[in-house]
């Protein structure tokens, strides 16, 4: 006994596009209804969705004359292109954006959420709302030098005030940074100049002290030399006086032995022994020095007496007076007095005129940073006419298209499933008994 089960082969199913097309045409009302339903959903979304607006501002390099006062300071150089770049960096800076957010929290009420910190609310705004377009660094022409900043914001946000305020805040912040940098540079430059002036003063004081010490040393040396010379000269004069007295003593002794009381000559002395009462005047000319004793005892004793009574021999030598004069002049060195009596010694510093002029220029440097124009606002943010999101026309059109496609797809799928069920074969079961 045996039995067998045989399943007939399943025939290959083929989709009839003609049947599908007929089904679509038959079900056009359904398709229209689906299209209308999806269109209504899109329409509702287009009018219910929160409108998103967009504002923008364009910055361009400032004119050269706007930065002339800063660049002419000779201590800070800021070309217009670099100023634009620095403002762009400030606009892109997280710190600058957070600072503006903190100082203007009233403008950001729409970004606050319960349970969020201030920084978290700022993150949402910073990530989704502001975008910056910087100039292409490969392009150097003036037309390509610009910065465009855009902001997207919901309906209840004052985007115009936020963007314009943020641009002004970034410009003012960068202006403050430049002012701070300028002040630091000026202070450093003044400290450097003051250091050089202090070094010049120190060198001057050292030179002055050395000069005074040198003059005092020279005066002391010269004074000691003159005093030694005066002492030696006085000793010499005294010795000469003693020698003269001794010489006179010898001459007096000789004159007494010869009986010469009055001044005479060797010729007159020889004739004095001759008798005669006539008076004769003679003039004796010869190359021989007459001995001193011919002056006679009276003259010699008178001279000796004067020499013995003399208290000082200073008047007998001209050099003594010259030495006394020099000593008197050395008692008061006018050059030292003038050096020590200087009131404003800075005017005597050498090679510091340029340093003083630079210091005066830096101290008088007055740049009105509040009027410094770093960039030109080519376009300010203006109140937009229409929102950029949602695009109602596009949403409605997309919704209708999506509804039509969805309706056709549903009808086509139902038609294909119907064709598949109609083509399904009947299974035959045969039992054979042997």
Helix, strand, coil share (%) of the chain residues, nearest 5: 65, 5, 30
Please state the pTM of the whole predicted model: 0.61
Which residues, 6 or more positions from 383, have their beta carbon under 8 angstroms from its beta carbon?
Answer: 55, 160
Contact in structure between 226 and 328 (CB atoms under 8 Å):
no
Q: Which tens digits make up the pLDDT trace of 344-389?
A: 777 777 777 888 888 888 887 877 777 888 888 888 888 888 777 7
* Average of per-residue pLDDT values in the chain: 79
User: pLDDT at position 142, please?
Assistant: 52
> 11, 369, 12: which is closest to 177 by C-alpha?
369
Q: Predicted confidence band at 411 (pLDDT cuts at 50, 70, 90)?
A: confident
> 135, 301, 309, 321: which is closest to 226 by C-alpha?
321
Q: Tell me which of 30-39, 56-65, 201-210, 370-379 is least confident.
A: 30-39
pLDDT for residue 429 is more than 50: no
Q: Which tens digits make up the pLDDT trace of 92-115?
A: 888 888 888 888 888 777 777 776
Percent of the chain with pLDDT over 90: 6
Contact in structure between 185 and 70 (CB atoms under 8 Å):
no
Q: Which tens digits make up the pLDDT trace of 172-213?
A: 999 889 888 888 988 998 899 889 888 888 888 888 889 889
- For residue 128, the SS3 value is helix
Q: Which two tokens stand for residue 430?
A: 């045969």
pLDDT for residue 342 is more than 90: no
Q: Which two tokens stand for residue 3?
A: 């039995």
Q: What residues does each domain of the chain span?
A: 190-362
Distance between CA atoms of 134 and 86, rounded to whole angstroms?
11
Q: Which two tokens stand for residue 300?
A: 């010699």
Output the DSSP codes for 216-232: HHHHHHHHHHHHHHHHH
């Amino acid at each position: 006994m045996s039995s067998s089960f045989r399943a007939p082969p399943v025939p290959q199913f083929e989709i009839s596009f003609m049947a599908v097309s007929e089904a679509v045409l038959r079900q056009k009302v359904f398709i229209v209804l689906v299209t209308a339903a999806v269109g209504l959903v899109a329409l509702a979304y287009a009018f219910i969705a929160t409108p998103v607006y967009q504002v923008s501002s364009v910055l361009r390099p400032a004119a050269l004359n706007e930065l002339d006062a800063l660049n002419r300071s000779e201590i800070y150089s800021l070309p217009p292109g670099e100023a634009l770049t620095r403002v762009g960096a400030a606009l892109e800076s997280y710190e600058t954006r957070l600072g503006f957010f903190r100082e203007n929290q009233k403008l950001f009420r729409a970004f606050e959420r319960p349970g969020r910190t201030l920084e978290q609310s700022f993150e949402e705004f910073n990530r989704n709302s502001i975008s910056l377009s910087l100039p292409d660094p490969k392009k150097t022409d003036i037309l390509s030098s610009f910065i465009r900043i855009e902001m997207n914001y919901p309906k209840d946000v004052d985007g115009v005030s936020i963007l314009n305020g943020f641009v002004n805040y970034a410009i003012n912040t960068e202006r403050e940074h430049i002012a701070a940098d300028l002040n630091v540079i000026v202070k450093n430059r003044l400290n450097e100049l003051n250091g050089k002036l202090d070094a010049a003063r120190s060198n001057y004081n050292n030179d002055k002290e050395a000069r005074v010490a040198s003059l005092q040393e020279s005066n002391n040396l010269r004074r000691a030399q003159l005093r030694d010379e005066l002492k030696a000269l006085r000793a010499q004069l005294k010795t000469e006086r003693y020698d003269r007295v001794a010489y006179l003593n010898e001459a007096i002794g000789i004159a007494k032995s010869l009986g010469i009381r009055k001044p005479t000559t060797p010729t007159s002395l020889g004739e004095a022994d001759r008798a005669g009462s006539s008076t004769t005047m003679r003039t004796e000319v010869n190359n021989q020095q007459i001995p001193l004793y011919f002056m006679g005892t009276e003259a010699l004793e008178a001279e000796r007496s004067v020499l013995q009574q003399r208290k000082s021999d200073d008047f007998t030598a001209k050099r003594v007076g010259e030495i006394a004069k020099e000593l008197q002049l050395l008692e008061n060195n006018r050059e030292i007095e003038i050096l020590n009596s200087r009131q404003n010694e800075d005017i005597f510093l050498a090679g510091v005129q340029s340093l003083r002029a630079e210091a005066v220029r830096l101290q008088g440097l007055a740049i009105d940073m509040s009027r410094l124009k770093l960039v030109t606002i080519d376009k300010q943010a203006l109140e937009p006419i229409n929102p950029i999101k949602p695009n109602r026309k596009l949403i409605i059109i997309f919704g209708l298209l999506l509804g039509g496609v969805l309706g056709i797809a549903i009808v086509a799928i139902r038609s294909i499933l119907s064709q598949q069920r109609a083509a399904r074969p009947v299974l035959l079961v045969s039992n054979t008994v042997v």
